[in-house]
Amino acid sequence: MTASPNAANQVNVALAASKTKTAVPKAGGFDVAEIAHIRSLFPTLSRSVRGGAQLAYLDSAATAQRVSPAMAAARSFSLSHNAAVHRGTHALAEEATTMFEGARQSLAGFFGVQANELVFTTGTTGAINLLTWVLAKSGRIKPGDRLVVTEAEHHSNLVPWQQLALATGAELAWLPVGQDGRLDLDGIDAIIKPGTKVVAFSHASNVTGALTDVATIVGAARAQGTLTVLDAAQTAPHMPVDFARLEVDFAAVSSHKMYGPTGVGALYGRHDLLADLPPGPTGGSMVEIVTMRETTFMPPPARFEPGTPPFTQAIGWAAACDWLTSLDLERVAAHEHALTEYLLEGIGAVPGVRVLGPAKAESRLGVVSLAIDGVHPHDAGQYIDGAGVAVRVGHHCAQPVHRALGESASTRASVGVYNTEAEIDRFLTALSQVRPYFGAV
């Protein structure tokens, strides 16, 4: 099927009119030389893909590319210091333990908390599942209690709470999403009401990009003595995220969205709360005394880290966070905000394309999901991929929010610190050709 020349030309003219190119960073972002240096630290960005096209990676909301300092730190550890941590007194064991706990200390500082409040997990999904497991074992959740989530949640912050409700006889309720893609908090006091034991919510939607009003939710929860759980997977690499200042009780986060390795993340919990919870999975390392009849357990965070922890990955993750700190996360946020403005302005010039969620860059991340009239997201994604531009298609592990916005799936472009206006131009050009190519105009 071929595109209509007239329709395609009209779209290209509209796109050109919407753009105001500049090499000067907006509001404290990065200049051209700085972005070139940042990009040089991501080897994957230099490769070509379909038919020799230069890769433009706009899928950081799914998983970000890995920064060289993170890979170098993990490699150096593996080559020169590899040994089991918290076991043995030989030189390598001591070095490995020191480096692993140093990574914990560094990451805790990055998130504004204490090292004994940070439990290593397999990622955000693992952290939330660990928390729901130990809450179930603790007996804190009883039949008739209320658990609250939101309609905007990734399945990883929805399904575990569903399962906890089923296992305990608790009631599951949720804060709804409005047609603007933001949480509707007008009736929050009727949802977070007496008997509510937990409120779990994302810092930003992985579909709409909308930032959550954390203070309002935390305030409503505190009024009822309710625990708060923050999914910070989407925000942690894109803006300063300080769990203590946000005043949440628990939080979950992943390395692979923060330019670090896969297979590692963390559960933050206030130390007094962690100390009052039983272990989840059990085994070696997290024990004090074991007899044939009973076991006593280490204090947090060791209590929640049985077996061999992901120490190589944790060291790589800490290096990625140190690198982000060196950039200044306020400047990272400014750079990505400018890219998000540019992206949304360009999308607005393409007929038949609807942004799911806020159409302006205020109070949102550069996570932009689209409904394209007459074209299935998978078809759109394949066409855009043909131009060398990587985007995400599908429901993004967030079916309820898609359903709330009248769609079953979408095409999603998401920006990271390494992206440029030129890459967004390539995406917009390909996007403008999708409907003509499939005869949907």
Q: Is 397 assigned a catalytic role?
A: yes
Peptide bond into 299 cis (omega under 30): no
From 83, 397, 409, 440, active-site residue: 397
Active-site residue list: 397
